[in-house]
A and B are shown apart, each in its own frame.
Chain A
Amino acid sequence: MAKFMTEAKPYNLPDYAILHSDKQVACSVWQPDRTYIVLGRSNRITDDSVYIEKAREDGVEIYKRPSGGEAVVLSPGMLVISVKLPIKNTLKTHQYFLHINTLIIEALNKSGIRDVHQKGISDIAVGIKKIMGSSIYRKDKTVFYHAVLNISESVAIISRYLKHPSKEPDYRQGRDHAEFVTSLKQEGYNMVMEDLKELLEGSLKSLVSLPPK
């Protein structure tokens, strides 16, 4: 069991490397190797956002990302999508969300997923259920976009570790995790993780020039 801390670890998961890379423009689509809990910038480990005891029982490590938003769970049934872009003066934050989320929605549409829309400030939902949440960190001259897409993970894992968030988008309407969040699998889409990952990377290529594999 991993050693538990009284404070969340600074975020250093693999996708974070792009923020510190020399490249002005970069992206990554990463499948977590195990379960993690990631707090938003202002969340504290003692906050009412996470069931600490359960995380401790299961040996799940807790990290804190630099971007905003509420705590999230990462697991091997999910994909973490990260994009680094230079700040463009004429673009407001919601336009970065819209721009990148549009590319992700296009990729999902290409793989046959229907009724996918951006909801709330920056979520992506199938119908009225959330399949992806995203947040942004604007640092100096850089925008770091960070999203978690639920491909096949049971929503029970979210209910196990995360409490009802203190803030919620209007379309959530007080629904608990089980009613609000879904996965592509739960919606009837059995995706091959690698295929979807490639599709997403391909779609994001219109945004950035990915380095050759």
Chain B
Amino acid sequence: MKYIFNFPDIGEGLEEGTIVEWLVKKGQKVESGDLLVTMETDKVVAEIPSPKTGIISSLFGKEGETIHVGDALVEIEIEGVAGKEAVKEVEKGSDLEAVKEEGAGVVGTLEIAGNSAVLSGSTEGIGTIEVTKETAKKKVLATPVARAMAKDMGVDINHVKGTGPAGRVTKDDVLQHAESTTQTVSTASSDTPNVENKLVEVEPLSQIRKTIAKNMIRSKHNAAHMSLFDDVEISELDRVRKQYKVKYAGEGVKLTYLAFIVKAVTHALKKHKALNSEMDTENDKMLYKKYYNIGLAVDTEKGLVVPVIRNADRLSIREIAMEIQTISDKAREGKLNMDDFKDGTFTITSYGSIGGKYAVPVINYPQAAILGIGGISKQPVVKNDQLDIGLVLPLSLTVDHRIVDGGEVSRFMNTVMGYLADPVSLIME
């Protein structure tokens, strides 16, 4: 019988951990209690013991890799157990409170430790530790999702009757409990959070949403945001783009306005170094970066991500267009890795294609500035004292006012707009 041991919640309430070191190899025989792997979370390094005796048939994940609680960690072939005996073995249960799942019978029986499996530990050497105060109360068994959901909904999980294995409280139990509670307190005031699951859809926070929230607050807390808005007439840029768009399309390159904007920003950053800098308050220094890595905020199904085009100053507009295409595809397919997000020096967020003209973008801290690109529209403009139809691109620039003074903000914006209004200048300098 194969037994899948999932990465257990080691008790910090964290969703992920890093594989520090494998202590076993594929094909190795292990006894129950033998150490399998060293895992690290934010505050804990733990050597995780095997819940079963058997032979390691698979290790999931490499050293240094981060995995989530509930992800498969190890597959163990349980020795000498087959057929009905295997089922009995499963039914014995384990200190992992495993959830059993019988396989189709073709390749045997598969047992999977539940996503909420807790860290097994030795029963030896139990001292006389008596948990005081808060910990003295026995904690109810519950899945992490159920626990998070109960917390969000303000439900005391200790009052929820569990219907899962070994009485474990599941997501459905919490919802059902909340619903019944709502019905009995239907006269509650409007201040009471509405927990009726028909009106409120409750989902645990995803890791990406937590990261976005943390980064946004960090930026707002540390930087002094100041914004400037302006419009630039880009008929000439539109003409140039159209001229090359078809040619590039034949080569598989999608030439967007954004490629020109990245180039214009990079040129402008070279002239206005404060916009490509970072303030190091702990050492009372300014860090002016002489490399130009432009982050592009990309809207994905899972949330906002900001992959980076490295050394954009060394790339042609065509190469920038190719890079944009590559990172956009990777973002949508969820294939971006940590390296794709590192070391950005300035960020561009382009929301115009979705809708909206101006915004007050939040700086990707500790960067000094972010440029928002609104929707392009035809508008009346004055050219040579004549009213004309112009193609107008709205720009919204937010800077960290600790770093950049107002005059420099305007000068930077003027430089960017100058390049966009006269795109030939982008290749002449």
Q: B221 at interface (Cβ–Cβ under 8 A)? A: yes
Interface hits, B116-143 → A, CB 8 Å: 118-127, 129, 131-135, 139
Interface 1/0 per residue, A145-189 and B, CB below 8 Å = 000000000000001000110011010011111100000000000
Interface 1/0 per residue, A133-147 and B, CB below 8 Å = 011111111000000
Interface hits, B1-40 → A, CB 8 Å: 9-14, 18, 20, 35, 40
CA distance A137 to B41 in the complex (A): 11
Number of residues of chain B lying within 8 A (CB) of chain A: 46
CA distance A178 to B45 in the complex (A): 28
B125 touches A24 (CB 8 A): yes
Q: A68 at interface (Cβ–Cβ under 8 A)? A: yes
Interface hits, A4-63 → B, CB 8 Å: 24-25, 41-42, 51
Number of residues of chain A lying within 8 A (CB) of chain B: 46
Q: Which of A88, A159, A173 contacts B126 (CB 8 A)?
A: A88
CA distance A168 to B218 in the complex (A): 11
Q: What residues of A have a CB within 8 angstroms of the CB of B283 in the complex?
A: 51, 159
A136 touches B45 (CB 8 A): yes
CA distance A135 to B127 in the complex (A): 21
Q: A140-B47, A207-B129 are in contact. Are A89 and B95 (CB under 8 A)?
A: yes
Please name the residue on chain A nearest to B223 by beta carbon.
Answer: A174
Q: B300 at interface (Cβ–Cβ under 8 A)? A: no
Chain B nearest Cβ from A135, distance in angstroms? 5
CA distance A164 to B45 in the complex (A): 21
Q: A98 at interface (Cβ–Cβ under 8 A)? A: yes
Q: Which of A24, A99, A140 contacts B35 (CB 8 A)?
A: A140
Q: B222 at interface (Cβ–Cβ under 8 A)? A: yes
Q: A85-B129, A93-B10, A207-B129 are in contact. Are A138 and B46 (CB under 8 A)?
A: yes
CA distance A68 to B139 in the complex (A): 25
Contacts A68-B43, A93-B119, A136-B44 given; 12 further ones with Cβ under 8 A?
A: A41-B20, A68-B41, A85-B127, A86-B122, A88-B127, A89-B126, A99-B131, A102-B134, A121-B14, A121-B43, A138-B119, A140-B122
9 A-B residue pairs with Cβ-Cβ distance under 8 Å, sorted by A, are: A25-B127, A67-B44, A85-B127, A86-B122, A93-B10, A93-B12, A93-B119, A99-B132, A121-B42
